Every structure is written in structure tokens, then in C-alpha cells.
Structure 1
């Protein structure tokens, strides 16, 4: 059926419906244009309503019935609802030439309007599809290794640019390729405007390719006072929830341009490091006298050490024919060395310390705040609260037992420095 036949049938219908105004219903008359426009819009609305009801009904769920939930996520993100908006645009695009064949004003208006409507809701449907892909991906285990939020945002930006080009080309009746070629003239301006977007996109590729960071990683950036968990890695910004529950937002490219400590390696390892020093007052350091040794020899943790060292010293004195009471020539145990051995033995017997990882107590260079004895070991428990409790218990014990070795903890103002 040609366009003239459709127009004539519509005119016949209007003549039967309004016989008293039949002489007004001609393709050139305003009344015809109004009636045809209203009819076209009503038919398009009915088409949309019917398609919308079908797409939103359980028919879609039954049609795509499977063990996965991707169809539910599509419905949740409005994919089918947005897809339904394409039908009135297609209907108007096909029906308008049948009713307005001889109208040089309304026909182009309806055609371009339908095309623009079609472009916009096609993009909206694509956005819903991309949101569905992102949501399903984030629910999978793959999201822990390679987040795709940045790539989804780049895809949305690309489709948005395409939609803008197509819309403008339809409005000015020019080829999209002609508009695209004109963009090269303002490339510098676009680069300036989209600088963060471009840098973020490149950073996102580096992060994904090298598996540098993932959502859920614990990172620390001292330059920005950031210490917390990555919540989202986007195209332009990365969101980090600090341990004080504040949210930090930084440009995505800072993840590749700045010095960042990623604690995820620690969480995947067998323990969490304890690295803390006890500062010994230099004035309290001395040799172990016999009374001290008699008290310490019964301490379970240090008993094997003392037995071995005393035997070694006795053998040395006998071999060198040295009197062990000779302060200048004899070798003697010091309270700080014995205490260091006790600390090591205590850690080696501690049930919460990872014995398969580095464990040592080392003496560092003396300074104006005393002689540091640094504990370097790893806690089996990596949970923050439990880790801090284990660390505190260990050092509480060391502080309390120090006087048995004749040692004092260094502090700038102490009871020993007070007069009287």
C-alpha cells in the first residue's frame, strides 16, 4: 500500500467520523494536520504501552529462564523499560511518511524527532546494559583481581560522545564524519578539558594490566593522609574509606604517580609485622652479679641460655687461665645482653608469634634517648584489634620484667631524676 492510499483511507475515516467538517479534512488544511498529529502520537503511545507491558511482565523472566540472575539484573537496571521506548520512535519514523507525505514542514520534524529519540534511548539502553555488566562482574570473584568500573565509565563516555555527534548531525543535517573532522581543530581544548579523564583511563589500564590495586585493598598514602580500604576505582576518581570512616576521593592517576603502601601483601602472608623498640637507660646497663644470676637461672625462658653461656665463659676462663673475678680480663654477662636473650626466647615461645617468619631482637645504635632494643617479628593474627592487643601484651610484659635485670626504661622525666 502506497502513501497516497494510506492518506486517502485516513481522510475517508475522518470524513465518516466528522461528516459536517468533511470539507476541512484535506492534506493541506490545518485541521487535518492536527488530527493526523494527534492520531500519530496516540498510536505511538499505545504501541509503547503494549510493548512496555510485555517487556515488564513475567513473560521476559520465563523467556530467559535460567539458573543465572542476569535477566533479573537487566530488569532492575531498566534495560527492557528503556528498550521499550524505541518502539514509538520506530512507529513514528515509519508512519509519519504515510500521513505527511506532502507536508514539507511536519514530515522532517517528525522524522528527525523520531531519529533523535531513537538515538537517545538507544544510548540509555546501552547504559543499562553496561550497568548490568558492571553489577554482575562486581558480584563475581574476578572483581577482586581486576575492577572494570573505569572501563565501564570510558564506554559510557564513548557512547555519550557518539550520541552527541549523531544528535547534532541530525539537527543541522550534516554528516557525523564532517563534525568529527571538525573536532581535530579543537583537540587541544578537548585534551585540556578531559585531562583527568584521559590520565585516569591510562592509569586504569596500568592498574588492571599490572594488577596493582583492587577494590578492597588496604592502602596507605602519607602524602594525602589516606589510610584505608579502596571502595571504588573509577575513571576519574578513586574512593577510599579511611579507618576513621571518612571517605577520601583522589584522581585515579594518583594510584600510579604517587608512592603508595599496599598492605594487601601482608594480609595474604602468614603474619603481620611487629617492629617496635624499647629504649634502655644507659646508666642502668652493667654486668650481671651473682645474685642476679641466681634469680634468673630459674626463669624458664632463659634457663637454657644461661646454662650455655655460663659453661662457655667457664671454659674460656679455664683455657685462657683468667680469674673470672678479674674485671679487666674476664668475660662476664651483661644485664642488657641477658635481657635481649630473654626477649628472644620469650617471643620464640609465644603462641601468637609466627615462628616461620623473621624473628629477632636487635640492639640498635645508642642515641640521646638511650639504647634501643628493637623487636622484629610477625604476629599470627592480622586483624587490627587483635594485633594491637598481642603487641601491647608483649611489651607490657617486657616493661614489667625489666627491673629483674637491673634495667630501667629511658624517659626524659622519670622518678629517678626527681630530687629528694
Structure 2
């Protein structure tokens, strides 16, 4: 009954034109044109009304629930896409009626509507996936996971299926035939080679927990040194410390070597490893008078006294001739300073004594004898860490003259002028 009424009203203008004596073909053509104009206007109005009703209803529903997933669905235009189904259904139902005299055009338009519905399904899928991603990123256990990579993979599959269906509609061939799927798979593998590599890399990065969003990484090959802000299917985005951005191919994270500072950030301390370059000709044996003077330094006074007793005992046993300092056992200004630096680090409240702590010599070079400070600071924040490190070396450099030691420094122009 309904279809009969639609046919009657769809031919109303045609009957009117025929009654006025118009040619039948022209009357049919004009009737179709007028019906199309009316349909377009009606569909625009219906689409506007449906969007208003569905979107506002969904907003009201999302406000009444405790979960935030529906709020993300609203932000991703999910209700708006769903509302488009009503106009599509109306057009799909009315096209055969309006173009009853033009079956070829009707078939073409119905195919176009089918393609539009497929694309609309893909947009709805994208909206759902984005909403799920944004929702999961609000959870503590997911905020550092490469969710964008998985969303992109699912979208590729969604678009792949959509393209197959559209090709099937346009060509009339079934997509389930073995030959068609084989050829399509080969083409997809060729076209999406980098995407597939990125997908595999994303899975390995996630499963092996190689990189998380928020990690500080250093990737010298790409000039990256900063925090990971995004991990997607094709690239990893790093915000460098100079506020520039570097994009790294995801596959490079498993193919090349890079440095991840997460271990340091999760540990109990951040390493300080730096050397003082001592002039070797400033190293000397200490006389009794010089040792007495150094005993005034409170941090090492107990060590000097204990060491002095041990040296005297050994020298007495070996009957060493102490008219020359080189004979027997002796203390050196560098050895005493090394013990001073060690004691200073143990007294420093910013240094974690539960982690490795050492003051050691490295192999001598043409720039002097490196005295390396190796310890860990409690504070791992970069700015505070640098302040702690600077304070330590400020003090040690200033303390060197008290031990008769000098820092190596390449001569400047003024130094050379003094030699003239």
C-alpha cells in the first residue's frame, strides 16, 4: 500500500505535464528532475533534524552515565555519523521509485548509495576506535602504550575491506574468489610494505616494552634526544630538549641501537661520572710539616693520623732512611686528596650511599692524570642533577690548592705572552 502511494505521488508532476499536452518523454524527464530536487531538499532537512535529535539525545545520555567512554564518542562525532543512516535509507528506498523509468541510472545511484554506506561504516569504525583509544589513555596502565599503532592497523584493515567491497560493487566481481584475494593480497603487501614493517615493530615495541610514551631516549642516528610524545604505526615522535620534534621510523627502534633513560629514571639514583684532570708534576710526597697542616682539614684528619701510624710502623720495620722522602712508605698529596674527595661524597646528603660510590685514577694522558668521581645522586631531575654535580666539582676544584695540586688547562694567548 505504501509503495503504491509513493508511486502515485512520484508521478504526480508527470500526469500534470501530460494533461497539459506535453510530450511523454519530456514529461517523464521533468518529473524525475523535480522529484530529485524535492528529495535533495527533504534529505537535507531530515539529515539536519536527525543529527539534532541523535546528537542531543546521545549527549544527554552521556551526561547521565558515570563512564567517560560515551563522552569520547560524542567528541569523535559518533552520533552524527549514526544519524546519517536515516537519510541514506530514505534515498536508497526512494531512488527505484523516482527512477522507475530509468533503471540503468537507478542501478548506478543505488551502487553509489551502497558505496556511501560502506564509507560511512568506516567513519563510524574510526570514531569508535578513536574513542576507545582516548578512553584507554586516561587509564594509568594504558597511558604509555602505543595505542595509536593498533588503531591505525585496525583502520587499515577496515579501509582494506571497504575497498574490496567498493571494487566488488563497481565491477560486479565477487571478492571471495581465491584468485581475486590472492592478487589483492600481493598488491597490498607491496603497497603497504612499510606499514606492515611498522605494524610488526609496534607489536615488538609494545610486547618487549622497548619504548613507552614519556620515555627519555637518545637516538644519535636521527639526532633525537628528548621525550617520546607519540608512538604510531609509522613513526615515533620525540620532543627534543630544545623543543624541536624528531620523527623516527618505528621499525628503527628494533633495527638500530638507541639509548633509553627509563632505567635511570626508575632507579634509586642518577649517575655522576666526571673527571678532574690533575697536572702530574704537581703530585708529590708529603713531608711531616705538610701532613700536620692537612690535619686541620676535619674530613681527613682521622684518615691522615691512621695512615701516618701505619706508614711509621712499616718504615720502622724496614729501617727506611727518611732523609729522603722517596724511601719507604709515604703519603702523597694526590692520595690524600682522593681520600678527601671520597669523604666529601660520603658526607654529601644529595649522594645515594647505597649505590656505587668511588673516586679513582684513570690512565694518564697528555692532558694530565684523570681523577674520576663516580657516584649517584638521589635527585634524578635533570636541572637538580646538574646543580648537584656542579656543587660537587665547584668544591673539589676549589679544594685542590690546599693539597698543592693543580688542574691541567691548555695555555691561552696570555699564558704564551708571559713566556716572552
Q: Which residue of the other structure, out of 374, 377, 390, is the alignment partner of 1:376?
A: 374
Q: Check whether the contact 2:78–2:128 (CA below 8 A) recurs between aligned residues.
A: yes
94-103 or 220-229, which moves further after superposition? 94-103
Q: Check whether the contact 1:86–1:122 (CA below 8 A) recurs between aligned residues.
A: no
The unaligned stretches of length 5 or more in structure 1 are: none
Task: Tell me the alpha carbon deviations over residues 245-270 of structure 1, each in whole angstroms, 9 at most, x when there is no partner.
Answer: 11111211111111111011111111
- Gap change, CA 1:69 and 1:27, over 3 Å in 2: farther
Q: Check whether the contact 2:279–2:408 (CA below 8 A) recurs between aligned residues.
A: yes
Residue aligning to 2:232: 234
45-54 or 19-28, which moves further after superposition? 19-28
Q: Check whether the contact 1:335–1:405 (CA below 8 A) recurs between aligned residues.
A: yes
1:27 CA displacement:
12
1:357 CA displacement:
0.9
Task: Tell me the alpha carbon deviations over residues 92-137 of structure 1, each in whole angstroms, 9 at most, x when there is no partner.
Answer: 2223334444541232133112111111111111111111122222
Residue aligning to 2:204: 206
Aligned with 1:365: secondary structure? coil
Residue aligning to 1:355: 353
Task: Tell me the alpha carbon deviations over residues 4-45 of structure 1, each in whole angstroms, 9 at most, x when there is no partner.
Answer: 55413544x558988954987899822332233334334433
- Gap change, CA 1:144 and 1:194, over 3 Å in 2: same
1:186 CA displacement:
6.6
Q: Check whether the contact 1:4–1:98 (CA below 8 A) recurs between aligned residues.
A: no
Residue aligning to 1:71: 70
* Distance in structure 1 (CA, Å) of the matches to 2:52 and 2:93: 22
The answer on 1:366 being equivalent to 2:364 is: yes
Residue aligning to 1:250: 248
The answer on 1:112 being equivalent to 2:111 is: yes
* Distance in structure 1 (CA, Å) of the matches to 2:187 and 2:118: 26
* Distance in structure 2 (CA, Å) of the matches to 1:393 and 1:341: 18
What TM-score does the superposition give when structure 2 sets the normalisation length? 0.91
Q: Check whether the contact 2:357–2:375 (CA below 8 A) recurs between aligned residues.
A: yes
- Gap change, CA 1:197 and 1:359, over 3 Å in 2: same
The answer on 1:96 being equivalent to 2:95 is: yes
Q: Which residue of the other structure, out of 257, 260, 279, is the alignment partner of 1:259?
A: 257
The answer on 1:410 being equivalent to 2:395 is: no
1:3 CA displacement:
4.1
The answer on 1:130 being equivalent to 2:129 is: yes
- Gap change, CA 1:5 and 1:102, over 3 Å in 2: farther
Q: Check whether the contact 2:73–2:127 (CA below 8 A) recurs between aligned residues.
A: yes
* Distance in structure 2 (CA, Å) of the matches to 1:181 and 1:272: 60
Task: Tell me the alpha carbon deviations over residues 248-303 of structure 1, each in whole angstroms, 9 at most, x when there is no partner.
Answer: 11211111111111011111111111100111111111101223211211212111
Residue aligning to 1:177: 176
Q: Check whether the contact 1:324–1:330 (CA below 8 A) recurs between aligned residues.
A: yes
43-52 or 399-408, which moves further after superposition? 43-52
* Distance in structure 1 (CA, Å) of the matches to 2:75 and 2:144: 26
* Distance in structure 2 (CA, Å) of the matches to 1:403 and 1:132: 65
Q: Check whether the contact 1:285–1:407 (CA below 8 A) recurs between aligned residues.
A: yes
Residue aligning to 1:151: 150
What TM-score does the superposition give when structure 1 sets the normalisation length? 0.91
Residue aligning to 1:285: 283
Residue aligning to 1:50: 49
* Distance in structure 2 (CA, Å) of the matches to 1:3 and 1:24: 26
Q: Check whether the contact 1:27–1:102 (CA below 8 A) recurs between aligned residues.
A: no
- Following superposition of structure 1 onto structure 2, how do residues 322-361 of structure 1 map, counting pairs within 5 Å? 322-325=320-323, 327-361=325-359
The answer on 1:61 being equivalent to 2:63 is: no
How many residues get paired? 417
Q: Check whether the contact 1:360–1:375 (CA below 8 A) recurs between aligned residues.
A: yes
1:213 CA displacement:
0.6
Residue aligning to 1:215: 213
- Gap change, CA 1:331 and 1:185, over 3 Å in 2: same
- Gap change, CA 1:18 and 1:56, over 3 Å in 2: farther
Q: Check whether the contact 2:361–2:372 (CA below 8 A) recurs between aligned residues.
A: yes
1:346 CA displacement:
0.4
* Distance in structure 2 (CA, Å) of the matches to 1:27 and 1:174: 36
- Gap change, CA 1:243 and 1:416, over 3 Å in 2: same
* Distance in structure 2 (CA, Å) of the matches to 1:172 and 1:119: 16
1:317 CA displacement:
2.7
Aligned with 1:273: secondary structure? strand
1:144 CA displacement:
3.8
The Cα RMSD (Å) is: 2.7
- Following superposition of structure 1 onto structure 2, how do residues 286-305 of structure 1 map, counting pairs within 5 Å? 286-305=284-303
Q: Check whether the contact 1:112–1:171 (CA below 8 A) recurs between aligned residues.
A: yes
